[in-house]
Each structure stands twice: as structure tokens, then as C-alpha cells.
Amino acid sequence: MAYIPPHKRQSGDSNCSSTSLNPVPTPTPESLSPLFQRTLNLRSSSFDRKKKNRDPNRGGPRIVFAPNATSKWFPVGLASSFDYSDDDDDGGEDDSPFMSLTKLEPFSLESYERKFGAKPRALVLNYDRIKEYGGEGRVLLEDPWRFAAENLKDDFLSAIQKVKDEIRDNDSKQVKPALVARFGRVIFRGAPRTFSERNLGQLKGSFHTNVSPSFVEHVIKDVIPKLETVVELEKEKYVVQLSDNLEPDSTLGCTCTLSKDGKSLQLYKIQWNQVRHLVADMSCLGKRVDLRLMLYSKITTPALTDDEMKCIQLVIGSAIVDPEVKGGLRWPLGTNSSGGRYTVVSAWHTHVKSFKTSSIRLKVQDADRFDFGSSLGEVSREVTLRLYDIISNSQELPTQDERLIEMLKSNFKLIWDCIL
């Protein structure tokens, strides 16, 4: 697909106001550090939200963390892996098995390389050394899913309680929690001077959700047939993310469908950006892909005035469906902002196949995204597993009930045995 220059994708001032808007900030690459301390308030709710550091001169949708949210990384797979929960900071002498059996391998990612000028790295097994240790059977965990669940137990239950408090303190009909597992690759920027699990955890990293065609084929041909009572759904949608000049730390996600003539968008729903309570990235050693477990909440229907809705509808109605541009949408000059408030920061075009049972939904999607602030676009294949049973039961069970952890283990077992 041909690259579209920024001046053809992004306009200047709004038609509804002569006030020019400042460039919208963007988050920096998502850090794997667990330290998130700052909070902010959004007009749409009474609870505080936490934000990450970001470059004020870049655009893009916001990543918002709840107060005292947890973000962590750890490797899963080695039978003799260093205990990441250990608070001893002596440099990681106990990391010797980890250091000898793993390595950082360059990972090809065009959008990342354009942004940072170098390839990221992913943690993989060092198979040459594993042979010296007697093969995978001697160095890999028999039940890695059990280790992952136990390692997340305290953080997971704490996050569940925070979500329950959020629902209690706000309109329960508006606050919608979700627990999802995403598949892809944990990638690191740079390399530590001393290669150890502890030092690796201090690197800036992110989770890349684009998976290979062979993994998607594996999910469709091997995983779906193993699920019971599957209901298959397929849909096409567009998502337009808008910044709000009066709420600089929020993003409105406008989900749209195509009109009957296929030339314009029809607004379907509006949501505030998700608030993350737990993000756990796991490098799954010896598996096809890595895993991210994320617990977040959303406010499904922001309280918008008639004037605000008119401005949003004006931006959505000005979009031109164009399969030749990244993100699938473009705006004529001067129409990508409205009312001196709302400005398009990103556009998504997705084709989604969902496979739903009574307790989970497995989603396979092709996504075409364009970020107007960075002028970067990416086409990706993504696989997401939404875990309904834990969320529904967590509202009824006491937070410390062991049945919640048993459900987490059961879901992790499904993931390790069938998907990874």
C-alpha cells in the first residue's frame, strides 16, 4: 500500500472555530516498569485515572492507567527461572540459568525501526545451550500456566478489587470491566549491559500484537475446533479516535459502520479510552508467541451535550472511505477537527471474526491503523481472547476467593495447551 504524506492525511484549523488546536500529545513507548504514580481526573467520571509520560509534541490515542495500577513483565517456561518476585537488588547472581539458556534476538518491525532507527529485540530460548543441558524436557516447566497464575495471584486479586471499587463508586451500568489475553511478542528497546532477568525487566519495552499468518491459521484450524458450542460472528468496522481540546488526557473512541452505499460512516457507539488496572506481559519461552494479560475498564456512554454530539458527528460525517490510504479513511482539508475541540488522532479499519462460547470469545482480526500525530501506519493480524467467566464471577465472589485463581489457572491452561 502506498505511503500517504502527512499533509494529505491531516488538516489544519476547524471549520467550526477559528481557534487553531495545538498538536495532540502521544504516549511514549509503553514501559514495562511497574512504577505508575501520577493521577488525573476526567470529566466523565468521579474516579481518578493515571497517565504515563509522553512527548507533548506528538499525537495519538492516550494510554491511561488507574491509580496504583500494576504493569509487570516476567518470563515463563524455564524450570530454574529466577524468582522475579524477589526484592533483593544485588544484581541477580541467581540469574545464571536464565542468562545461559536465553538470548535477545533482533525482531523485524518496520514501524518500530522507522521510529527508533534500530530493530527491537525479543527474548527467546538459546537452543544451542539447551542441547548442552539435555534438551527442552530438562529445562522447561511441565506446567508453565500454573507458574504464570501463581506469579500473578496477588496483583490479579488486587486489580480485581480495584475494579469492583470502581463499579461500586460509579454507575455500574456505565463501567464495563474486561479481562483479555493478547498474543504477540514482547519486544525490548536496546540491551542491558549485564544480561539478566532483573536487568532485562528495567528496559523500555512494549507488546507487539501483530502475529504471523501461520499463527492465525493455527488458531482457525487447530484451536477453534477444540472449543465447545462456538458461535461465529463476522463484521467490519471503523474506529475514529478523537482528542478533546478541553480534556487533553482523554480520547474518545467512535466505533462506526459503513453506510449502505459504502461511501460514508455511520456512528455506532462512543467510548472513553480504556483505563488499565493490570498489564502483565509474559515472554513465553519455547512457544510460538508471547502473552499479555490485561484487566481494564471502560465507560461505555459518555455524557455528551447536543452541541458536543453535533461536533463529533460533523467530524465522522466528513470522513471519506478510501481503501488506498492507511487506516482506510481520509478527511478533506479543514474537516478533521470540529468545534474548536475534537480532532482526529487515529483511524482504524478492521475485519473481525469472533468465535464465542459461554465463557470466552476468541477474536481474529485484520487491522489497518494510521496515527496522525506520528504519521505512522501499520497493517496487522491480531488474536485476542476475552475471558468472560472470571469477570462475571468476580462480581459475586469475595476478592480473595481461591476460586478466582482457579479460574485464572484454567484459562491459562487452555492458552498454554491449545493456543501458544
Per-residue model confidence (pLDDT) at position 7: 32
Please choose, from the candidates 50, 15, 124, the residue with its C-alpha nearest in 3D space to the C-alpha of residue 297: 50
Q: In this structure, is the dihedral angle defined by the CA atoms of residues 74, 76, 81 and 86, taken in order, positive or negative? A: positive
pLDDT averaged over every residue in the chain? 79
Residue 28 is given by DSSP the state: P
Mean pLDDT for the stretch of residues 77-97: 53
Residue 113 has pLDDT above 80, yes or no: no
Distance, CA of 70 to CA of 51 (rounded, Å): 13
Count H helices, E strands: the chain?
A: 11, 20
The CATH class of 6-74+143-419 is alpha beta
Q: 16-25, 135-144, 161-170, 318-327 — which is least confidently predicted? A: 16-25
Q: Within a 10 A sphere around the Cβ of 4, how many other Cβ atoms?
A: 18
Q: Is the pLDDT of residue 94 over 70?
A: no
Position 395 scores a pLDDT of 82
pLDDT at residue 345 above 50? yes
Rounded-to-integer distance, Cα 315 and Cα 42, Å: 22
* Measured distance CA(179)–CA(120) in Å, rounded: 27
- Residue 272's closest CA among 292, 297, 306? 297
Helix (H) or strand (E) holding 411, with range, is helix 402-414
Give the number of C-alpha atoms closer than 13 A to the C-alpha of residue 150, restricted to the C-beta side: 9
Q: For residue 172, what pLDDT band results from cuts at 50, 70 and 90?
A: low
pLDDT at 89: 46
C-alpha distance from residue 356 to each of 304, 391, 404 (Å)? 32, 16, 21
CA of 130: how far to CAs of 95, 110, 124, 139, in Å? 15, 31, 12, 7
**Residue 15: predicted pLDDT:** 40
At 87 the pLDDT is 41
User: Does position 195 have pLDDT exceeding 80, yes or no?
Assistant: no
The whole-number pLDDT of residue 5 equals 35
* pTM score over 0.95: no
Residue 137 exposure: Cα atoms within 13 Å on the Cβ side:
1
Please give the full DSSP string across 217-254, using - where no structure is assigned.
Answer: HHIIIIIGGGSSS-EEEEEEEEEEEEEETTEEEEEEEE
Domain ranges of the chain: 6-74+143-419
pLDDT of residue 301: 67
Res. 88 pLDDT band, cuts 50 70 90: very low
